[in-house]
Amino acid sequence: MAQLGSAVLWHETLAPQPPAAPADGELTADVVIVGAGFTGLWAAYHLTQSDPTLDVVVLDAHDLAVGASGRNGGFAMTLLDFNLHRFARTWGDDAAAHAHRAVARSVHQIDRTVREEGIDAELEATGLLRVATNDAQLARLDRDHETAQRLGLDGFRRLDAHRTRELLDSPSYRGGLLEDACAIVNPAKLVVGLAAVLRTRGVRIHGGSPVLDLSEADGRVTATTPRARVHADTAILATNAWTHRFPAARGWSVPLYTYVVATEPLSPDQWEAIGWQGRQGVEDARNLVHYFRPTADGRVLWGGTDAVYRYGGPISPRRDRHEAIRRRLEREFVTTFPQLGRVRFTHHWGGPISITSRFVPRIGRFGGGRVHYAFGYSGHGVAPAHTAGRILRDLVLGRDTDDTAVCFVDRDQPAFPPEPLTWIGAELTLQLLRRDDRRMEAGGHVGDPDPLLLRLVDRLDRG
Ligand SMILES: Cc1cc2nc3c(=O)[nH]c(=O)nc-3n(C[C@H](O)[C@H](O)[C@H](O)COP(=O)(O)OP(=O)(O)OC[C@H]3O[C@@H](n4cnc5c(N)ncnc54)[C@H](O)[C@@H]3O)c2cc1C
């Protein structure tokens, strides 16, 4: 069983804990949840909140916080699709505003839950600062700001270069867009804290329990692991980047790797040199964004810049580092904040995210109706997984609610083609996105990201 790796900064902040024991033997439950990341845990949280008598079992292949939920940047943010403008263009203003509000509600609810349940997740509700380093990125911020205003969404403020640099000082910043609905958290502490709350509610959480088969028969679902069979009325598949491994969901998503580095704790002088007193989470407006944030112990976590798809979509601890991306991230950090002088980087890690062909989450149920699923957050799942948890609760309990009316619920999406087509498409797409990032930096005009692979899949589907 994979253990918590020392390279992930967040894992070092966890109190020592025994691994979650594997499931053993024949078990029964009302609901069996496959995957103990944010999707699975929030679904269990909302279900047991609504109906404390529900008997819920959660099975994970690994130990707690090993998956993306325990190793991400920790931005609980509202983003769906590449940006708000593209999301509204694709789904229409009303649907986009409705979905955005559902996720913004999650940002606030995560904050409230953490406080009410006494979870120490180092949560800081500081907002999201999107920065632009060139004209094309400024145009993107303008489009998103205009879209937010048109949709009647509160809490967005466009900032000029001066005000942006007052918030966080880099000579490359030309402007910003501040969004209130964002919090930064220590994601591993949130996973472990949430699991602890669930255990007090009687939820059984098992690690080292990879589900090899999920089958429906005679009005029941059975999840089979190497050592156990769990029989339940309903199941939830919450395996995000791993979802394509389940035969019924083959081609529904592809796993992509994203990577981060973390600095040593900065000195008080270094903090003063960059400002950042508001401690916002920050992203730029590239296609392949940089995302970065301060940590509770005074470091900067800095990630993004590129993403990697590998033939066939393998996921393994061997992929958790990427030396070329690590070097590039470190170089770009120094270029962005030259006033910091020498900074040592102490941590580097990465993990798999899940991309769907519409670049929005996919939430629904398989044919028989007893297995529900939610995945495909495109690297922005911390808050949307909470929203997905609410939606999964409503689907399991058979309720039609404001949440189940979100535009991408129960909506099929075109499938990715078999290899080598997906690999070729992904490689070409990433190269075009990188080229457009360079073009924008050189002063060229580039509109919204327009990933070739997603366009191809769409075309094949319609053809
Ligand atoms: C480096 C990195 C940085 C990121 N930064 C951010 C960020 O700042 N903000 C943001 O919103 N999002 C971010 N993300 C994305 C975010 O982490 C995910 O969208 C979110 O955690 C998805 O949660 P999940 O529960 O659906 O998936 P996961 O957390 O990946 O959980 C899926 C679980 O399923 C388990 N599993 C898989 N197969 C099986 C099986 N057969 N049987 C049993 N269990 C199985 C896995 O072990 C895993 O624990 C980042 C991701 C990475 C990798």
Query: For the chain (length 463 residues), average pLDDT per consecutive 10?
Result: 61 94 98 98 98 98 97 98 96 98 98 98 98 97 98 98 98 98 98 98 98 94 98 98 95 97 98 98 97 98 97 94 97 97 96 96 92 97 98 98 98 94 94 94 86 79 68
2 belongs to a structural domain:
no
Examine the fold and report which residue of 316, 335, 354 is the final residue of a domain before the chain moves on. Answer: 354
Identify the residue whose C-alpha is closest to ligand 1 atom 37: 239
368 belongs to a structural domain:
no
Question: Comparing C-alpha atoms, which of 6, 69, 9 is closest to residue 298?
Answer: 9
Answer yes or no: do 316 and 450 share one domain.
no
Question: Comparing C-alpha atoms, which of 451, 422, 417, 419 is closest to residue 434?
Answer: 451
Tell which atom from ligand 1 comes closest to the C-alpha of 74: 8
Answer yes or no: do 263 and 339 share one domain.
yes
Residues 6+ apart with CB under 8 A from 307: 256, 257, 258, 288, 353, 379, 430
CATH of the domain at 157: 3.30.9.10
User: How far away, in angstroms, is 35 Cα from ligand 1 center?
Assistant: 9
Instruction: Report how far residue 8's alpha carbon sits from residue 259's, in angstroms, rounded to the nearest whole number.
Output: 11
pLDDT of residue 453: 80
Instruction: Report how far residue 436's alpha carbon sits from residue 134's, in angstroms, rounded to the nearest whole number.
Output: 12
Answer yes or no: do 435 and 323 share one domain.
no
Instruction: Report how far residue 228's alpha carbon sits from residue 167's, in angstroms, rounded to the nearest whole number.
Output: 53
Answer yes or no: do 329 and 434 share one domain.
no
436 belongs to a structural domain:
yes
**SS3 state at 217:** strand
* DSSP letter for each residue of 385-409: HHHHHHHHHHHHTT---TTTTSTTB
Give the angle 428-384-297 at the CA atoms, nearest 5°: 90
Answer yes or no: do 270 and 349 share one domain.
yes
pLDDT of residue 463: 62
79 belongs to a structural domain:
no
Identify the residue whose C-alpha is closest to ligand 1 atom 21: 69
290 belongs to a structural domain:
yes
pLDDT of residue 447: 82
pLDDT of residue 1: 32
What does the block give as tokens for 92? 């229409």
Examine the fold and report which residue of 354, 386, 404 is the final residue of a domain before the chain moves on. Answer: 354
Instruction: Report how far residue 275's alpha carbon sits from residue 17's, in angstroms, rounded to the nearest whole number.
Output: 37
Answer yes or no: do 309 and 429 share one domain.
no
Quote the number of domains for the chain.
2
User: How far away, in angstroms, is 385 Cα from ligand 1 center?
Assistant: 9
Examine the fold and report which residue of 354, 382, 403 is the final residue of a domain before the chain moves on. Answer: 354
Tell which atom from ligand 1 comes closest to the C-alpha of 209: 43
Q: Domain span at residue 449?
A: 421-462
pLDDT of residue 3: 38
The preferred substitution site among 257, 353, 362 for testing ligand 1, maximizing ligand atoms within 8 Å of CB, is: 353
User: How far away, in angstroms, is 290 Cα from ligand 1 center?
Assistant: 19
pLDDT of residue 462: 67
Q: Is 75 in the pocket of ligand 1 (CB under 6 A)?
A: yes
Answer yes or no: do 265 and 342 share one domain.
yes
